[in-house]
Amino acid sequence: MSIFVDENTKVIVQGLTGGQGRFHGLRNRDYGTKVVGGVTPGKGGTDVDGIPVFDTVAEAVAATGATASFVVVPPRFAADAIIEAAQGGITFIVCITEGIPAHDEAVTYNRLVEEFPGVRLLGPNCPGIISPGKCNIGITSGDIALAGGPVGIVSRSGTLTYQALYELSSQGIGQTTCVGIGGDPVPGTNFIDCLAAFEADPETKAVMMIGEIGGSEEERAAEWITTHMTKPVVSYVAGVTAPPGRKMGHAGAIISGSKGTAQAKMEALAAAGVHVCQNPTEAGEKMVEIVKALALG
Amino acid sequence: MDLFEYQGKQYFARYGIPVSPGGVADTVEQAVAVASEVGYPVVVKAQVKVGGRGKAGGVKLAANEDELRGHAGNILGLDIKGHVVKRLWIERSSDIAREYYASFTLDRPNKKHLGMLSAQGGVEIEVVAEENPDAIAMLSIDPLRGLDLAAARAWVDEASLDEAAREQAAALLVRLYECYTKGDCDLAEVNPLILTPDGRVHALDAKVTLDENASFRHPEWEEFRATETEDPREKMAKEKGLNYIGLDGDVGIIANGAGLAMSTLDVVNQVGGSAANFLDIGGGANADVMAAALEVIHSDPKVKSIFVNIFGGITRVDEVAKGVLEALSRVTITAPIVLRLDGTNAVEGRAILAAHLSDTLITEPTMLDAARRAVALAKA
């Protein structure tokens, strides 16, 4: 099994006619994802390499039965696109857009919670989600993932998500699902959402969690793991050597005072019984060891 | 983007938040001119983006022109924790009856806004939070509903502000919230918010951090950007759309994505080296961006080797490879470049570089191998 998306998930791409939308939308389809439509206002009736384009999400959903959307539009339009997806009947929204104002994210998140409680938003500013061999929504290169499980991956950083996939796949360890939750201040889906889904998924036997400096999501995840998680978790937190008080690209990746340091996060995770590693390669090696032990057990 | 105090006060004033009359001065003569306009006594305040100005001698009271000339002359050029004072804010001195604290920021775990209000202002709020957490009235604000006057009134009651201050403070807080939201602030903080003996409430300080992601709808931020005193290399990088932070080591770092860039710093450190910088070329960088990144790093004389760590997602590795070749054709880069390329179009990218590999243009299969090689080259 996989979490959130699988081989039956039908996906539309909001922004399919743009450069990034076309490139990644078509790559997702080439991977085997059921990309059934695109949405660009004013371009309804056209197509992108055979994928029909609609003016609105509602039209696209009515025509295709899609339940998931891949939002790849510029920052100033992203919040509206997310709400339009929810209004149009989409229940799983992946938004990769980087650079959305934090206040827009806060409003969008709270609108979704209040008006569309059944809708899950992944991102913004995330690489997306891949259930290897089944469905890839977002910008992750499908060839670095390996189908068949048994590891679930959840990561705050985009490129480190790829790194984690690579470390496992190159050792012959497959993944059930790999979720990039993104590094923005108001992520629609957090570590705990993913850990809970992996804990409930029978095919996921162990979880790799990649965190980074800033915020307190890793610490909160550590608390949750202490009380709820029975499966082994391997973790790496980026930014041990990052100087405090400077923004490291992600809105989230900033340390203020002693809060949110990599050290504090690693200590919290270690205290929760998580295998805390010093770099992505070490995390990959640790996971290989764990998976082999599980297979023997 | 952090604002200077005077910019924060100007920003507050846009939203109708009362501040003391004052003006900026870059010279003693300008300071005298501002003071004669606002009237003595005045407070002379160093404009630096660092805390602890008062203790460092950067805030002084001047009763007359002689005193002002002395203080202004002393404070201009003063080094406060590495920040040299180039500008002063001169404002009319306020009599203070009480000092409060007020701020709005994003409550990330709860995904709401967080207002903090305390009758114990004027000191570091972290200290109050530590020693007497009950002295801070926390208010969780739903972004969909905002802060209205009724809620603000209840809040000032809860924070036990003095009776005389409550009505004005409530109105000020509603405006401050508006400044925080409509003004796209990550942080809007007033410490102290004062009550004067004659019963007026106003902001005596301003700490504002703007969310740069919202700059597309704030053309007025241009003037703030103009005064950002940045490292010239950071400025050059920013103009080219790169996220660069200068550090002290000798291995130049280029990576795509903040997480991978941070991780690259960590790994370089773990294998015994030290990074000269953090540089995230962002998602979807093309050849031009990559070439610009190499040029920025090349301009740093500390750099002995360059580690380019790319895991393509939205960034295409073939574009990165083209950028490397383009940079090499534009400038002579003497430091050896070690590349680790994986992800989207990695095969195409490696193929583009294959014919150009040499002692100074090297590829390594993994992040750790590349880090070791770059560190060894920096030490050679």
Whether A267 maps to a domain, the answer reads yes
Cβ distance of A100 and B181 shorter than 8 Å: no
Tell me: pLDDT of A73 over 70: yes
Cβ distance of B266 and A109 shorter than 8 Å: no
Do A106 and A184 lie in a common domain? Answer: no
Q: What is the pLDDT of residues A238-263, one digit of tens each?
A: 988 877 655 555 444 554 545 678 89
Whether A5 maps to a domain, the answer reads no
Mutation target among B145, B238, B344 for the A interface, most CBs of A within 10 A: B344
Do A211 and A92 lie in a common domain? Answer: no
Supply the CATH number for residue A109's domain.
Answer: 3.40.50.720
Whether A252 maps to a domain, the answer reads yes
Do A109 and A162 lie in a common domain? Answer: no
Do A42 and A98 lie in a common domain? Answer: yes
Please enumerate in sequence order all residues whose Cβ is within 8 A of that of A158, keeping only pairs 6 or more positions apart, or say none. A125, A126, A127, A139, A180, A182, A183, B257, B259, B260, B283, B313, B314
Whether A132 maps to a domain, the answer reads no
Query: Model confidence at A117, in pLDDT bands (50, 70, 90)?
Result: very high
> Between vectors from CA A184 to CA B217 and to CA A250, what angle results, nearest 5°?
90
Q: What is the pLDDT of residues A99-112, one digit of tens each?
A: 999 999 999 999 99
Do A145 and A291 lie in a common domain? Answer: yes
Mutation target among A24, A98, A103, A210 for the B interface, most CBs of B within 10 A: A103
Across the beta sheet with B305-312, the strand order is: B243-246, B277-280, B251-255, B305-312, B337-343, B361-363
Catalytic (active-site) positions of B? 101, 189
Last residue of a domain, one of A94, A122, A150: A122
Question: Who among B142, B346, B367 is closest to A280 (CB)?
Answer: B367
Q: What is the pLDDT of residues B271-308, one digit of tens each?
A: 999 999 999 987 777 888 888 899 999 999 999 999 99
Nearest chain B residue to A23 by CA distance is: B314
Whether A130 maps to a domain, the answer reads no
Nearest chain A residue to B267 by CA distance is: A279
- ipTM for this model: 0.89
Q: Give the Cα separation of B208 and A242 in Å (integer).
A: 24
Supply the CATH number for residue A290's domain.
Answer: 3.40.50.261
**B336 in helix, strand or coil?**
coil
Look at chain A and report how many structural domains it folds into: 2
DSSP category for residue B219: G
Q: Which domain holds residue A54?
A: 10-122
Q: Give the Cα separation of A14 and A145 in Å (integer).
A: 24
Cβ distance of B262 and A109 shorter than 8 Å: no
Residue of B182, B7, B192 lying closest to B117 (CA atoms): B192
Q: Helices (H) and strands (E) in chain B — how many of each?
A: 13, 18
Do A147 and A258 lie in a common domain? Answer: yes
> Between vectors from CA B252 to CA B251 and to CA B254, what angle results, nearest 5°?
135
Amino acid (one-letter) located at B134: D
Do A271 and A168 lie in a common domain? Answer: yes
Whether A133 maps to a domain, the answer reads no
**Chain B residues with CB-CB distance to A246 below 8 A:** 245, 278
**B229 in helix, strand or coil?**
coil
Whether A81 maps to a domain, the answer reads yes
Do A67 and A195 lie in a common domain? Answer: no
Last residue of a domain, one of A92, A122, A152: A122
Nearest chain B residue to A76 by CA distance is: B216
Query: Model confidence at B120, in pLDDT bands (50, 70, 90)?
Result: very high
Q: Helices (H) and strands (E) in chain A — how many of each?
A: 9, 14
A103 is catalytic: no
Please enumerate in sequence order all residues whose Cβ is within 8 A of that of B271, keeping only pairs 6 or more positions apart, or say none. B368, B371, B372, B375
Do A192 and A283 lie in a common domain? Answer: yes
Whether A197 maps to a domain, the answer reads yes
Do A156 and A292 lie in a common domain? Answer: yes
**Chain B residues with CB-CB distance to A127 below 8 A:** 313-314
Percent of chain B with pLDDT over 90: 71
Question: Who among B106, B144, B259 is closest to A212 (CB)?
Answer: B259
**A155 in helix, strand or coil?**
strand
Residue of B103, B73, B100, B98 lying closest to B85 (CA atoms): B73
Do A154 and A254 lie in a common domain? Answer: yes
Last residue of a domain, one of A95, A122, A149: A122
Q: Give the Cα separation of B196 and B201 in Å (integer).
A: 6
Token pair listed for A240: 């041990």
Nearest chain B residue to A162 by CA distance is: B311
Do A84 and A183 lie in a common domain? Answer: no
> Between vectors from CA A161 to CA B279 and to CA A103, what angle results, nearest 5°?
70
Q: What is the pTM of this model?
A: 0.90
Cβ distance of A157 and B344 shorter than 8 Å: no
Residue of B267, B303, B310, B304 lying closest to B286 (CA atoms): B310
Q: Give the Cα separation of B363 and B353 in Å (integer).
A: 9
